[in-house]
């Protein structure tokens, strides 16, 4: 057993089976340790995870909270590299193997595969937003986060234990120099918010969390997003792309305004997007059925990574 995969899960009965199915399809028994850190669950997340054929180690933590769940899972984890995976993300076994191999390269401390943003079943406005957002430069510059990241032993010592913050992905990214980050081969699916309202709420949470990082003086500030601005302006020069740019900018402005209001009110509520936890036809994944090994997932569409300060919803 080499790696340990840690999956924090708060009321994730709709997606936890799907997540574990994808990880275990094509994986050898015991190839990696999987720890599901269920925290504050009031649904069937713990039951579904415990009865999954891949036999993950399941923690049933009473209090909700992602950073505490990550730290509790770290306390029982045995392998390196350490991979942190959101429960609503699907990552095939081959992508995990490539991630482990990437972290074995000299000087690499943190890595993640590229995200494939799935917009099937989303509103036209959401699809317009992602038509522009997919091309932002920061996603192409050894981006880590968006639902998964992995660290080697030395990298883990730098970021753990995780502080009580919302934006742990950004905290991890800023903890490493660009030369220490890598994008590993392969992709993973991200099911984005299906409605414009859910998209704005998710973006508001993300931006507010990133602003919270300013209190951690040891972390470097994010690089100014000059390349992203140039990219957006270039897209706006095309009459065909201009309507999509307008939607992108409108969402960006709304997110910035609402996140400022959220911070001023001292609102620390976790605004989870449940719209992305449904199938494109609007139904909820059949988490209640007995878990069974899933067929190998279809090849994901590769996202074209790239922003630089324009936070991702």
Residue 302 lies in a domain: no
CB 146 within 8 A of CB 79: no
Length in residues, the chain: 313
Residue 203 lies in a domain: yes
Alpha-carbon 110 to chain mean position? 14
CB 202 within 8 A of CB 313: yes
**Whose CA is closest to 39, among 53, 31, 54, 49?**
49
- Write down the pLDDT at residue 269: 57
For residue 291, is pLDDT > 90?
Answer: no
- Structural domains in the chain (count): 1
195: containing domain: 4-277
pTM, two decimal places: 0.82
For residue 46, is pLDDT > 70?
Answer: yes
- Write down the pLDDT at residue 247: 98
- Distance in angstroms (rounded) separating the CA atoms of residues 232 and 228: 6
| C-alpha count within 13 angstroms, C-beta hemisphere, residue 300 | 25
Confidence of residue 39 (pLDDT cuts 50, 70, 90): very high
For residue 86, is pLDDT > 90?
Answer: yes
CB count within 10 Å of CB 31 equals 17
Structure tokens that stand for 239 in this block: 């009459």
Residue 102 lies in a domain: yes
CB 154 within 8 A of CB 77: no
Structure tokens that stand for 296 in this block: 């190998």
Question: pLDDT tens digits for 168-214?
Answer: 888 999 899 999 999 999 998 888 999 999 999 988 888 877 777 77
In the chain, % helix, strand, coil (3-state, to 5) comes to 40, 15, 45
**Whose CA is closest to 301, among 145, 127, 115?**
115
Cα-Cα-Cα-Cα dihedral sign, residues 104, 110, 116, 121? positive
- Write down the pLDDT at residue 209: 79
Residue 115 lies in a domain: yes
Q: Which residues of 33-51 are buried (b: 16+ CB within 10 A; e: fewer)?
A: bbbbbbbbbebbbbbbbee
Mean per-residue pLDDT for 222-251? 89
Question: pLDDT tens digits for 133-149?
Answer: 999 988 877 888 789 99
156: buried, middle or exposed (CB in 10 Å: 19+, 13-18, 0-12)?
Answer: middle
Question: pLDDT tens digits for 108-132?
Answer: 999 999 988 899 999 999 999 999 9
Residue 290 lies in a domain: no
Residue 32 lies in a domain: yes
CATH of the domain at 178: 3.90.550.10
Residue 110 lies in a domain: yes
Residue 282 lies in a domain: no
Q: How open is the CA angle 25-274-232, to the nearest 5 degrees?
A: 90
């Amino acid at each position: 057993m080499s790696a340990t995969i840690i999956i924090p899960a708060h009321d994730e009965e709709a997606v936890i089976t799907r997540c574990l199915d994808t990880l275990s399809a094509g994986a050898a028994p015991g190839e990696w340790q999987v720890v599901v850190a269920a925290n504050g669950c009031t649904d069937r997340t713990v039951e579904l995870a415990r009865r999954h054929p891949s036999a993950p180690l399941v923690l049933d933590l009473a209090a909700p909270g992602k950073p505490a769940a990550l730290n509790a899972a770290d306390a029982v984890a045995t392998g390196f590299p350490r991979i942190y995976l959101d429960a609503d993300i699907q990552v095939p076994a081959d992508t995990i193997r490539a991630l482990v191999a990437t972290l074995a390269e000299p000087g690499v401390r943190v890595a993640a595969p590229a995200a494939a943003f799935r917009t099937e079943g989303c509103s036209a406005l959401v699809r317009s937003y992602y038509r522009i957002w997919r091309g932002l430069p920061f996603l192409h510059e050894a981006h880590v986060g968006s639902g998964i990241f992995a660290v080697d032993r030395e990298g883990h010592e730098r970021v753990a234990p995780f502080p009580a913050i919302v934006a742990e992905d950004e905290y991890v990214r800023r903890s490493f120099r660009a030369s220490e980050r890598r994008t590993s081969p392969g992709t993973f699916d991200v099911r984005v918010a299906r409605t414009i309202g859910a998209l704005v709420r998710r973006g508001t949470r993300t931006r507010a969390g990133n602003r919270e990082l300013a209190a951690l003086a040891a972390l470097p500030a994010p690089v100014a997003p000059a390349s992203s601005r140039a990219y957006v302006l270039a897209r706006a020069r095309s009459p065909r792309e201009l309507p999509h740019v307008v939607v992108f900018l409108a969402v960006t402005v709304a997110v910035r305004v609402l996140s400022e209001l959220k911070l001023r009110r001292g609102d620390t509520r976790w605004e989870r997007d449940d719209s992305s936890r449904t199938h494109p036809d609007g139904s909820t994944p059949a988490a209640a059925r007995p878990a069974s090994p899933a067929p190998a997932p279809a090849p994901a569409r590769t996202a074209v990574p790239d922003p630089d300060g324009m936070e991702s919803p």
